[in-house]
Amino acid sequence: MRSASSIPFCESPGGPLAREAAGRQIDARERAGDHAAARDAAASYIKRFPSGPYAGLAQLLLER
């Protein structure tokens, strides 16, 4: 089952909300305690959006 925050990203990965949705996935997975999934999402985010608004959070998780 997909979370509501993943719907914009999954249905339109190149759409205008993709960067925000991908960043929110990192945050949501980390807050839920799924650290491995958060790191995977962070690595993907950095590749796609290296200067995005969640790049700092993504980099922080990858450095742990």
Q: pLDDT by residue for the chain (64 residues), tens digit each?
A: 455 555 445 566 677 788 999 999 999 999 999 999 999 999 999 999 999 999 999 999 999 8
Q: First and final CA of the chain: distance in angstroms?
A: 28
Angle CA(14)–CA(36)–CA(60) in degrees, nearest 5? 75
Asked if 44 and 52 touch (Cβ cutoff 8 Å), the reply is: no
Residue 42: per-residue pLDDT: 97
What are the residue ranges of helices labelled H in 1-64? 7-11, 18-31, 35-48, 55-63
CA pair distance 14, 56, nearest whole angstrom? 21
Structure tokens at 23: 């960043």
Domain ranges within the chain, ordered by starting residue: 4-63
- Confidence at residue 38, expressed as pLDDT on a 0 to 100 scale: 97
pLDDT at residue number 11: 60
Given this model, what pLDDT does residue 15 score? Answer: 74
